Copies of this chain bind each other. A is one copy, B any other.
Amino acid sequence: MASQAERSHPSANHYDIVIVGAGPVGLMLSTCLARWGYKIKHIDNRPEPTATGRADGIQPRSLDLLRNMGLKSPIMAHKPARVYEVAFWDPPTGGKGIARTGTWASCPEFIDARYPFTTLLHQGLIERVFIADLEKNNTTIQRPWTITGFTSDEKADPEYPVSVELSHVDGTFKESVKAKYLFGGEGARSFIREQLKIGITHKDPIAYVWGVMDGVVKTDFPDIKMKCTIHSEHGSIMVIPRENNMVRLYIQIASSTDPDFHPRKTATVEEVQASAKRILQPYSIEWERVEWYSVYPIGQGISDKYTLDHRVFLGGDACHTHSPKAGQGMNTAFLDALNLAWKIHAVEGGLADRKILETYEPERKDVAENLLAFDNKYAKLFSQRPPSGNEVAAATAKKVAGQEAVEENEFIKTFKESCAFTSGYGVAYKPNTLNWSPEHSAQSSVIHPKTTTLVPGCLFKNADVTRVVDANVVHLEQEIPLNGAFRLFVFAGVPSVTQQALKDLADNMAKKTSFYGAFARPDADSVSHHERHNPHSRFFTVCTVFAAPRNTIEISRDLPALLARYKDNVYADDRWSRTHPDARAAAHAKMGLDEERGGVVVVRPDGYVGVVVALEEGSTTVDALNDYFGAFASKRLGDAAQEKL
């Protein structure tokens, strides 16, 4: 991973950023920025990481992200539970007790996830993985410390506009620091949000009170290791398996339809266990151990703003609260932080104009609003009627060549949307300066080739390819680590066909006024030949994928020197794919790019497609890329730069 020389600051109490809260959102932000060389003051008001309870679900897309950061292995070392299917239990027609009415994949094949399951692991263990990584980058969490006040005034101090007052929770020690940014990842009761007088819009009044209990049980209920939604005449339970033979049960304690409903209603462990026993009849359940128990009313709320001045930001539970049952809290928090992290890096590293920070709130608030809407819609989906077996089959199947298409009704459509959303793959950022839809105002014949199946604002697709230098079969989408750089995937088609186009691409990229040449590393001449991802620029990593068998590719012959420098990132698109069994180059085919002529895909540092450009001879391709990056770059690029000269 590229790590930047530590920036100089005027004094020891000047920081790039102050991060308040070391839950998922704060830790993700801190981990990214620490890796990229920023100086961080990170505090949390708890003396230790989360000890028990709280969030525990890592969705498939988050697991991709964690792998991209090299954090998947240490998380998996804890042997988390994996949820592949969800089972539905209801009162049997004309009988007593409960019966299974259906099961379906929690991340069906059509999602095309690398890891089509939800990973369940105690939040504290996940936090510790991040904390260990932070320590490798000389960043520690200062505990138990809290924020007592702050001001932000860009006019008074354009470089370090934020002043923050910090204090040990017992008040014995205090610190005043200056920072370029302040981030509030303090959870639902955010001091920073309150100080900024940013309101919360609540969707509905609190309608349910739930108990949540983690523990080890003995039961003959057959689906205790599956995620289950159980409705009975005695109430409702949700079952979530955990690591170490544990299970989490969400048990409904009160509903607004109850005659004596009160959102502050509570219940003891014993009451909740007795309730669970009634609901699970005719099956038995006994607790060997209770690790954690809590009762909470479920309210849905969303912060009106995520920032006022683009210096003080909020993210995670400080911005959105909702039911924990869909397992979305931690995942949404991760992605809030990731979205902000790379944009701060782009600005502070010198690539982007400060206005790029204005895309954080609309991109992430839109996701939060969808999350809250989903929370309701999903519940309704199941309360209406149990779906038929055919519907489930149609909704979950991956389209395989040769199979018949099944008509999609409303149920199937809603279900598919839900799966895409809960798996994390459904996040679609709307068109903006970073995500260029086919309708983008910069009309160019090469932007967004008609055939491409990639969608700007959506994740880059996964594909298996063979790395040329060592013949390793790899996951293309994982080949560039989360290094804060934009990813240029040059799908280079057939070498003999694209030879001139590749030469022109390299020649035009090499120009000092191109997006690539304009942001060269000042130390490019002294970079080690082992540097794989950032030899020329900290802001771009290049991969080339040929539609040819590996053993026919000769990097020094088939690529111009600029692209050949990324020799560890040159691939052969020569792996068979079940979804594209007849394609000669399955990855090209999957992206909807010409198998002979290829195309260039720009992927944002967070993994979302920015723009797709045809690979053509002449300067057209780089002109289009200059247009794209020029829209938010800190310098004029391409023709615009020429004019200026």
Contacts and interface: CB of A to CB of B under 8 A. Distances in A.
Interface stretch (A348-356, A513-521, A549-557): A549-557
A102 to B, nearest CB: 8
Given A222-B555, A245-B530, A551-B103, A472 B77 contact: no
A225 B468 CA distance: 10
Interface in A128-167: none
A470 B117 CA distance: 11
A262 to B, nearest CB: 37
B471 A84 contact: yes
Contacts of A466: 84
Interface in A97-119: 103, 117
A309 interface: no
A526 interface: no
B222 A469 contact: yes
**Which one of A76, A225, A550 has the highest number of Cβ atoms from chain B below 10 Å of its Cβ?**
A225
Given A84-B472, A471-B85, A218 B529 contact: yes
Interface in A49-88: 73, 76-77, 81-85
B73 A77 contact: yes
A241 interface: yes
Contacts of A471: 83-85, 103, 226
Contact of A81 (B77, B218, B241, B470): B470
Interface string A417-459: 0000000000000000000000000000000000000000000
Nearest to A554: B222
Interface in A397-419: none
A220 interface: yes
Contact of A84 (B220, B473, B555): B473
Contacts of A551: 103
Nearest to A77: B73
Contacts of A223: 469
A82 B84 CA distance: 30
Contacts of A473: 84
5 contacts: A103-B551, A220-B556, A222-B555, A241-B470, A245-B530
B222 A556 contact: yes
A383 B471 CA distance: 24
Nearest to A219: B529
A268 to B, nearest CB: 26
A233 to B, nearest CB: 23
Given A220-B556, A529-B218, A530-B245, A469 B73 contact: no
A356 to B, nearest CB: 34
A83 B225 CA distance: 38
4 pairs of A and B residues whose beta carbons are closest in the complex: A85-B471, A225-B470, A84-B471, A225-B469
Interface string A208-221: 00000000101010
Contacts of A554: 222
Interface residues of A, number: 34
A135 to B, nearest CB: 17
A575 to B, nearest CB: 12
A578 B220 CA distance: 37
Contacts of A82: 470, 472
Nearest to A73: B77
Contacts of A245: 530
A267 to B, nearest CB: 27
A586 to B, nearest CB: 14
A530 B246 CA distance: 11
Contacts of A226: 469-471
Contact of A117 (B83, B84, B472, B529): B472
Interface string A456-479: 000000000010011111000000
A226 B245 CA distance: 43
Given A81-B470, A578-B578, 15 more contacts: A73-B73, A73-B76, A82-B472, A83-B471, A84-B466, A84-B472, A84-B473, A103-B471, A222-B469, A222-B556, A223-B469, A224-B469, A226-B469, A226-B470, A245-B530
Contacts of A218: 529
Nearest to A223: B469
Nearest to A469: B225
A26 to B, nearest CB: 26
A81 to B, nearest CB: 7
Interface string A230-261: 00000000000100010000000000000000
A529 B225 CA distance: 14
A556 B284 CA distance: 14
Interface in A535-592: 550-551, 554-556, 578
Contacts of A550: 85
A466 B226 CA distance: 13
A265 to B, nearest CB: 33
Nearest to A82: B472
A277 to B, nearest CB: 18
A216 B529 CA distance: 11
Contacts of A469: 222-226
A247 to B, nearest CB: 11
Contacts of A470: 81-84, 225-226, 241
A36 to B, nearest CB: 21
